[in-house]
Amino acid sequence: MKYVVGCSPITSILYAGSVRVDGTWGANKKDVTNTAVSAVAQHLLQLNEKMQFIYKGKKYELLIKELNK
């Protein structure tokens, strides 16, 4: 088994855990949605970077910005 992070196509929940050779989740998957999203945001903020990716043939960009009070 290998350890991965993935997004459920049905619920959009982010899971971390072991995946079997056949691609199915092992018994130890955990919901890491809030932790993972916060970690990515902090990573981009600390490095002052943005991230581009393609999803279903469309290009997107993640950018973190400070909001005024």
pLDDT computed for residue 57 by the predictor:
97
Give the per-residue pLDDT at 25: 87
Three-state SS string over 9-23 comes to: CCCCCEEEEEECCCC
Each residue's pLDDT tens digit in the chain (69 positions)? 688 999 988 999 999 999 888 888 888 999 999 999 999 999 999 999 999 999 999 999 999 988 887
Please state the domain extents for the chain. 2-62
The kind and range of the H/E element at 53 are strand 51-55
Phi-psi group of 37: left, alpha or beta (phi > 0 → left; psi -120 to 50 → alpha; rest → beta): alpha
CA atoms of 68 and 59, how far apart (whole Å): 28
